[in-house]
Structure 1
Amino acid sequence: MRIVIAGGHGQIALRLERLLTARSHDVAGVIRTPEQAGDLRAAGAEPVILDLESTTVEEVTEVLKGADAVVFAAGGGGDGNRQRKETVDKGGAILFADAAERAGVRRYVVVSYMGADATHEGDEVFDYYLRAKGEADDYVRSRTGLDWTIVRSGAMKNEGGTGLVSLAERTGRGPVQRDDVAAVLAELLETPGTAGLTLELIGGTTPVKEAVAAVAAAKG
């Protein structure tokens, strides 16, 4: 498959790029600056320079033409900028969803966050983030015809993957290793039976492949 990843230089994206290229997929990562390109090439991915906050749906559509799947893994960053939650976490996800439809790409996997909710209240930066992610998730589910899967992870850690997760519509709160998040995303991309699911993801006791197969089987 050809897979395009928005937010291609993020911690999840770089891990996912390495996994997908190791599985012989053709991977492109969308990044903001040329300085990030070397890291993508080292991960086996083709860098595509495109600023989500200034591009157009037409430009994104051109990038997505010929792809089999899109992963939205971009984020507005942890610098306390509330506006970028709207322009990247929400606006970017909607932009890529619209462009995927125009380009004829049906498979769309979103990296969201546990507790994302368009009606979430509060004025802290994290509250803005949860609202933005929730609004983006709602848009993808209700206003597109994509084969979407939304993954809402618990708090992410960098302590090394275990290969063991809990993946379900409701898991309860808990941490998860970024290596394991990337492994789940790779498996979801290769499991079309998971389309139409919003899944929570935390560390657990089930091997990744079995966890993904189980949610696909439960969907029927």
Structure 2
Amino acid sequence: MRTVIAGGHGQIALRLEKLLAARGDTVAGLIRDPDQSDDLRAVGAEPVVCDLEGATVEEVARHLEGADAAVFAAGAGPGSGTGRKETVDRDAAVLLADAAERAGVRRFVIVSSMGADTEPPAGVDPVFASYLRAKGAADEAVRARTALDWTVLRPGRLTDDAGTGRVRLEERTGRGDITRDDVAATLAALLDEPRTAGLTLELVEGDTDVTAAVAAHARG
């Protein structure tokens, strides 16, 4: 299986790349900064320099040719302003979806955010509100596509604790924490279970094994 991951140097992406490579998959990570290449190689992934804020659909589609799946795990990151929430968290996600369609890659998994489906409450930090709106807009654009077998994953508050391999994965979980390790493990399991296509799922820590939690949502 060949998977292309946008945001290949992010904390979740590196964990996912390591998991997929360790089991023998071919993994490519799209990165903006070529200096990050060695970090991807260290986890067994192929670095592909591609700035999603400036690339065209055709350029990204070329990187996706021959892939079995695409994962959008990019984000503007802490410290970025409203503008980059729109150009990365929204526009780059839409660009990757456009490119996946162009390249004929049907399986598409996007890492979103809990709270992306509602208008941010009054008083929320304006940049964080922009982030949630950008994620929500990206999700909506992806879910409108009939040429993609998409799954939207919305994790709770991310932590760097060691993963437990046990989660709660539901359409609605309520607020909660989740380790980045367990988000990566859940993404890998979702890629293995195409019958989760068409679902938007929230993820927090819980009591169910990751594989079983994903399998419980398999349809058909």
TM-score by length of 1: 0.96
Q: Distance in 1 between the 2:34 and 2:105 partners?
A: 26
Aligned to 2:56: 56
- Could you list the runs of 5+ residues in structure 1 that have no partner in the other structure? none
Residues 147-203 of structure 1: CA distance to partner in whole angstroms, max 9, x if unpaired?
000000000000110110000111111000000000000010011111000000000
- Could you list the runs of 5+ residues in structure 2 that have no partner in the other structure? none
Aligned partner of residue 200 in structure 1, secondary structure: strand
Aligned partner of residue 160 in structure 1, secondary structure: coil
Return the offset for 1:117: 2.8
Residues 3-24 of structure 1: CA distance to partner in whole angstroms, max 9, x if unpaired?
0000000000000000001111
1:135 maps to which of 119, 134, 137:
137
Q: Distance in 1 between the 2:164 and 2:209 partners?
A: 9
Percent identity between the two aligned chains: 65
Aligned partner of residue 181 in structure 1, secondary structure: helix
1:204 maps to which of 206, 211, 219:
206
Matches within 5 A, 1:29-68: 29-68=29-68
Aligned to 1:126: 128
Return the offset for 1:77: 1.1
What is the identity, as a one-letter code, of the residue corresponding to 1:179?
Answer: D
Q: Distance in 1 between the 2:216 and 2:130 partners?
A: 33
Matches within 5 A, 1:162-177: 162-177=164-179
TM-score by length of 2: 0.96
What is the identity, as a one-letter code, of the residue corresponding to 1:24?
Answer: G
- 1:140/1:118 CA distance change after superposition, 3 Å: farther
1:114 aligns with 2:101: no
> What value does the CA root-mean-square deviation take over the aligned residues?
1.2
Equivalenced residue count is: 218
What is the identity, as a one-letter code, of the residue corresponding to 1:202?
Answer: V
Q: Distance in 1 between the 2:146 and 2:88 partners?
A: 19
Residues 11-51 of structure 1: CA distance to partner in whole angstroms, max 9, x if unpaired?
00000000001111100000011110000000100000011
Q: Distance in 2 between the 1:91 and 1:117 partners?
A: 17
2:154 maps to which of 152, 155, 160:
152
What is the identity, as a one-letter code, of the residue corresponding to 2:27?
Answer: V
Aligned partner of residue 27 in structure 1, secondary structure: strand
- 1:89/1:116 CA distance change after superposition, 3 Å: same
Q: Distance in 2 between the 1:93 and 1:175 partners?
A: 24
Q: Distance in 2 between the 1:150 and 1:133 partners?
A: 10
Instruction: Report if the CA contact (8 A) 1:167-1:201 is conserved.
Output: yes
Residues 37-83 of structure 1: CA distance to partner in whole angstroms, max 9, x if unpaired?
00000010000001111111110010001101000000011114110
Instruction: Report if the CA contact (8 A) 1:98-1:144 is conserved.
Output: no
Return the offset for 1:115: 0.5
Q: Distance in 2 between the 1:30 and 1:144 partners?
A: 24
Return the offset for 1:215: 1.1
Q: Distance in 2 between the 1:167 and 1:74 partners?
A: 21
Q: Distance in 1 between the 2:19 and 2:7 partners?
A: 16
Q: Which runs of 4+ in 1 moved over 4 A?
A: none
Q: Distance in 2 between the 1:103 and 1:184 partners?
A: 25
Return the offset for 1:121: 5.7
Q: Which moved more, 1:136-145 or 1:7-16?
A: 136-145
